[in-house]
């Protein structure tokens, strides 16, 4: 077992470096052991991160027990819920690359031997996984766990309840006093928001990838089980170091296929179509959109969690969590991939039970015959677009209507709340892609507004931006090429007819080909919105959403 940390502490020449480490309180015995990094995204801004300091203490204890020396550092974490509907959301997706870079820089500069990543929430878990794959030293991911659901008048609540309450008040369906009750009760404590939104979806997929210990994703933030798993992760990463098991030996193509299949089976967030390709790219693997659609077509959706269904992450935990889902999927899951337990998937699942439950249905009685996400193509999305199939009401699976065109999210929200959007319309929000936004903002505000004002079953939304994992309805995102790159969405005109046909995987602008070609030839992209700072750099180097919005 060759230790990278020996470059820092071994030999006479390392005496000054040892002196600096002794200033941290390390002993000679500490310096002789493997150096194990704890990369933590703790802060007291984001509810999903409030408790991560305690998890780091548990991880450190496990590392020490197994014979390693734990050393902790932090990275950033942005709360999408706090940024939602503001310019702050432009910075959310771009932060993924900063997180990956910052973890890489710390690991490489200080020559760590192994790593435990601790994170919650939407961009932070993917960013850390990108760093794990990039640096490729023995590593385990500890995800912070879901928040408990709130409750009021016998109804379970989460943060989406608050977003949709705004629309309900504006539509006269709810009093402001009732909305204030939801505000006070929907987020009862630490953890990532209680439904199957992006944060919890990525935790589930980390476990399905084999890079987290079994049971990690659904063990709740306030549960002592989470601390036990954190401590076990600290011990296990030292064993992985001794065995030479690195992330790229775990995160193989077969493992990514398992993660996509689990994603489809549970009805996860559309943001996974950005994050999984980005993580795979760091591992030297190319995941194309067609793979998501191919696996979706043959994977039944067997869970129905919030925001579409009645169940929360607490229900999924009580039903057996991700291991029970994978067990229920049977032969759809590849058994050969190695995991951070040191065993194969098939070995981890051998003694897992998947009892009959409405939370995880049998394959012969799924909620939907196909998976939760569909990839659409057509003259409006030549490189593809993404829709959360699971969240679309049956009558909206095929929809044709006039385009109502907006160049900014805020303008669309004002139109929805101003009752200028009518039944049958197709709301188009463009110049919100990775380059054009810049930063590809989530569109929870307009989708929640559509739901809140009662148009969920009659209005579609199409954007080159993206959606929160809490979005439901006929909402098509990631339209590629985006408007800023001269994609066809840039030349849609008010009143143009748009056809959305999810069963046939079609997204079409119903204008003659010659006219569309002429419009595109005349189109000139607007000046970049970001003139300075990180967003200006990001907009110059980011790739299409169809490629995972990775850096070129």
What are the catalytic residues? 468
Q: Are 383 and 546 in contact (CB under 8 A)?
A: yes
Question: Do strands 381-387 and 398-406 pair parallel, antiparallel, or not at all (unpaired)?
Answer: unpaired
Q: Are 325 and 265 in contact (CB under 8 A)?
A: yes
Question: Do strands 150-152 and 155-157 pair parallel, antiparallel, or not at all (unpaired)?
Answer: antiparallel
Q: Are 164 and 454 in contact (CB under 8 A)?
A: no
Q: Are 133 and 104 in contact (CB under 8 A)?
A: no
Q: Are 33 and 69 in contact (CB under 8 A)?
A: yes
Residue 405, H or E segment = strand 398-406
Q: Are 136 and 249 in contact (CB under 8 A)?
A: no
CA angle at residue 314 from 265 to 470, to 5 degrees?
Answer: 60
d(CA 284, CA 412): 39
Write the DSSP assignment of 67-117 as a string of letters. T-EEEEEE-----HHHHTTSGGGGGHHHHHHHHHHHHHHHHHHTT-SEEEE
d(CA 130, CA 301): 27
- As given in the structure block, the two tokens for residue 149 are 């659901």
Q: For residue 68, with 0-12 CB atoms within 10 Å meaning exposed, 13-18 middle and 19 or more buried, which class applies? A: buried
Helix%, strand%, coil% for the chain, nearest 5: 45, 15, 40
d(CA 311, CA 321): 13
Report in angstroms the alpha-carbon separations of 417 from 258, 451, 452, 477: 41, 11, 9, 21
Non-local CB neighbours of 59 within 8 Å, separated by 6+ positions: 38, 70, 116, 118, 142, 230, 231, 233, 234
Short-list 113, 114, 118, CA closest to 128: 118
Residue 58, H or E segment = helix 52-65
């Amino acid at each position: 077992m060759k230790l990278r940390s020996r470059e820092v502490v071994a030999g006479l020449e390392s005496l000054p470096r040892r002196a600096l480490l002794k200033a941290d309180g390390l002993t000679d015995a500490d310096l002789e052991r493997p150096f194990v990094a704890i990369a933590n995204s703790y802060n007291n801004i984001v509810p999903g991160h409030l408790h991560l300091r305690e998890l780091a203490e548990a991880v450190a204890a496990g590392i020490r027990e197994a014979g390693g020396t734990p050393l902790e550092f932090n990275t950033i974490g942005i709360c999408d819920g706090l940024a939602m509907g503001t310019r702050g959301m432009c910075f959310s997706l771009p932060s993924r690359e900063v997180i990956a870079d910052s973890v890489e820089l710390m690991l490489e500069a200080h020559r760590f031997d192994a790593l435990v990543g601790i994170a919650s929430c939407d961009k932070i878990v993917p960013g850390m996984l990108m760093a794990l794959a990039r640096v490729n030293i023995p590593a385990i991911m500890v995800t912070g766990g879901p928040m408990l659901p709130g409750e009021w008048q016998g109804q379970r609540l989460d943060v989406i309840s608050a977003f949709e309450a705004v629309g309900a008040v504006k539509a006269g369906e709810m009093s402001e006093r009732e909305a204030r009750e939801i505000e006070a009760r929907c987020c009862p404590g630490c953890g990532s928001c209680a439904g199957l939104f992006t944060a919890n979806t990525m935790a589930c997929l980390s476990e399905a990838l084999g890079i987290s210990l079994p049971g990690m994703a659904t063990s709740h933030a306030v549960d002592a089980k989470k601390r036990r798993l954190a401590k076990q992760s600290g011990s296990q990463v030292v064993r992985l170091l001794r065995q030479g098991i690195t992330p790229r030996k775990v995160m193989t193509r077969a493992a990514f296929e398992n993660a996509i299949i689990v994603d489809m089976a549970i009805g996860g967030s559309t943001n996974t179509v950005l994050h999984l390709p980005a993580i795979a790219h760091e591992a030297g693997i190319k995941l194309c959109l067609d793979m998501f659609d191919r696996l979706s077509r043959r994977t039944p959706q067997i869970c129905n969690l919030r925001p579409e269904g009645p169940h929360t992450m607490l229900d999924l935990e009580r039903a057996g969590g991700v291991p029970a889902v994978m067990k229920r999927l049977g032969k759809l899951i590849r058994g050969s991939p190695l995991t951070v337990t040191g065993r194969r998937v098939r070995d981890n699942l051998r003694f897992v039970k998947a009892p009959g439950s409405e939370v995880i249905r049998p394959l012969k009685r799924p909620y939907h015959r196909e998976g939760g996400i569909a990839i659409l193509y057509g003259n409006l999305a030549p490189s593809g677009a993404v829709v959360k199939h699971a969240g679309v009401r049956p009558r909206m699976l095929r929809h044709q209507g006039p385009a109502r065109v907006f160049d900014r999210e805020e303008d669309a929200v004002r139109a929805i709340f101003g009752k200028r959007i009518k039944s049958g319309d197709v709301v188009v929000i463009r110049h919100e892609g990775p380059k054009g936004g810049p930063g590809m903002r989530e569109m929870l505000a307009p989708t929640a507004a559509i739901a809140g004002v009662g148009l969920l079953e009659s209005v579609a939304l199409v954007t080159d931006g993206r959606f929160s994992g809490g979005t439901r309805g006929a909402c098509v995102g990631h339209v590629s090429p985006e408007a800023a790159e001269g994609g066809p969405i840039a030349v849609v005109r008010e009143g143009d007819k748009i056809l959305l046909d999810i069963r046939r995987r079609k997204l079409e602008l119903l204008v003659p080909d010659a006219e569309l070609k002429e419009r595109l030839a005349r189109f000139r992209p607007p000046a970049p919105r970001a003139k300075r700072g990180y967003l200006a750099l990001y907009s110059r180097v980011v790739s299409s959403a169809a490629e995972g919005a990775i850096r070129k």
